[in-house]
Amino acid sequence: MFNPAKAVIPHIIDQHAEEASFLWLLRNNAVIAPHYDLDDLAKLDERVEAHLDGLRIAGEYGWQVCSENLQIKEAGEVFTAAVLALEGRSVERINQVYDCVEQKPDTVNGLISAFGWVEKNNLQGKVNGLLVSSKPLWRLVGISACAIHRVDPGKYLEQAILDENVPLRVRSLKVAGELGRVDLKTALIEQLDHKNNQVGFWAAWSAVLLGDRGKALNRLRRQIEECSAFCIPAMQVALPVLDAHAVKKALKVLADNQDTLRLAVIGAGLSGQPSYIPWIIQQMQVAGLARVAGEAFSRLCGVDLAYQDMVGELPDDGGGGGPTENAEEESVEMDEDEDLPYPDFILVHQWWLDNRGYFKPDVRYLYGKPASNKQCRWALKKGGQRLRYVAAILLALAEPKRTLFEVREVGKRQLLECCNV
């Protein structure tokens, strides 16, 4: 009879654990990356799952390796161990993961991601205890676990949006919008002027998703014009529903300041308004703005710059603010536009001259077509991750009771859900 224990090759199992943790980190970046689409994400998930499967097959030794790796106290190792623990019935294993997270709370994202990875049937009896915990950290994990699977926590969410613990309260306010809890809109609006700016912002963000076009929308508009730390998420939700005059006023504030010009370019792409396309193209002549301008242009016009061979030569400095090969260079931060193509200004400009007649000034566009529900559904299936998130926001804005499509969910589940959107 085959004995799995005898078939275990320790260094192979060690490698499975290491690769699963590393690939989770890669996935954590991929879900917000412009060059990953749903098919790419699903393939990456298959790689993660293959290594997790190797650990499952290894049985007790697989868990032993994951358990030992928890001593590293990093989110990737927490994710890997948590998946195995949540799929089993050992309270001791689950508590071991919880102990690690409690000792180093900044690993909590690995645990929350594991709750999202595991199938719902393996979570029965494991989330309710978190929702009723006396500790805010565990209530936050419980609320987040429900949100990832788009399961309504009911009264626990209603309590959490008023909790004194700011991280729990903020996450819960956002979840209210993600789950389409229109019944909580009044409670959210009452928190718009909260002394904590995070609380006030996420209350407004969710209230607008849930249909408010008054006080909450004005709160988001001010966040844009003041160039707050929440400027981009504010633009993602507010610009599609503000009238053209309000959009123009908000973006002008950003465009008039050299320090916020990049945000104005991003906002122009999010606005959906074709009147900004010539200005966006002009920004492609500025090395530090070219790639983000290319993304904004693609988002509006539906042009894949790389596929349609409209990519230019990178300038010597790479066209961004990331590290260079200069040994005396102090900057070690990666360029946030690194994964975006560098547009050829002349080719893009010519494309616009040839195609501008197809764009109507009073219509908002998403990837080359009017931003209808049909086009948003297409973007969810075929677009890159950033475009997919924009499409999910537009669908939720159009139907406040609709749950916000989770573009970070396990790829194979998303592929099935996209068929039903």
Q: In this predicted structure, what is the pLDDT of residue 317? A: 61
Question: Does some domain include residue 29?
Answer: yes
Q: Which tens digits make up the pLDDT trace of 151-161?
A: 999 999 999 99
Non-local CB neighbours of 377 within 8 Å, separated by 6+ positions: 391, 395, 418, 421
pLDDT at 334: 53
Residue at 80 is within a domain: yes
pLDDT grade for 2, boundaries at 50, 70 and 90 = very low
What is the tens place of the pLDDT at every residue in 208-238?
999 999 999 999 999 999 999 999 999 999 9
pTM exceeds cut of 0.85: yes
Q: Comparing C-alpha atoms, which of 189, 247, 187 is closest to residue 221?
A: 247
Stretch 308-330: mean pLDDT, rounded?
66
Bridge-based pairing state of the strands 365-366 and 369-370: antiparallel
pLDDT the model gives residue 336 = 81
Report the number of distinct structural domains present in the chain. 1
Instruction: Identify whether 151 is part of a domain.
Output: no
Burial of residue 57 (number of CB atoms within 10 Å: 0-12, 13-18, 19+)? middle
Confidence of residue 313 (pLDDT cuts 50, 70, 90): confident
Contact 244, 273 (CB under 8 A): yes
- The predicted-structure confidence for 31-45, as pLDDT tens digits, reads as follows 999 999 999 999 999
pLDDT score recorded for residue 158:
98
For residue 331, what pLDDT is reported?
44
Tell me whether residue 162 is in a domain. Answer: no
63: in domain: yes
Percent of the chain at pLDDT above 90? Answer: 90
Q: Would the pLDDT of 325 be above 60?
A: no
The answer to whether position 71 is within a domain reads yes
Report pLDDT for 3: 52
The pLDDT of residue 370: 98
pLDDT of residue 328: 53
User: Distances from the Cα of 352 to the Cαs of 25, 242, 278, 291, in angstroms?
Assistant: 39, 26, 8, 17
CB 287 within 8 A of CB 303: no
Task: Give me the torsion for CA of 291, 294, 299, 300, rounded to 10°.
Answer: 150
Per-residue pLDDT tens for 56-83? Answer: 999 999 999 999 999 999 999 999 999 9
Tell me, yes or no, whether 314 lies in a domain.
Answer: no
pLDDT over 70 percentage in the chain: 93
Range of the structural domain that residue 32 is part of? 1-118
Between the alpha carbon of residue 334 and those of residues 254, 288, 402, the distances in Å are 24, 13, 36
Q: Is residue 51 part of a domain?
A: yes
Joined tokens for residue 303 = 């042009």
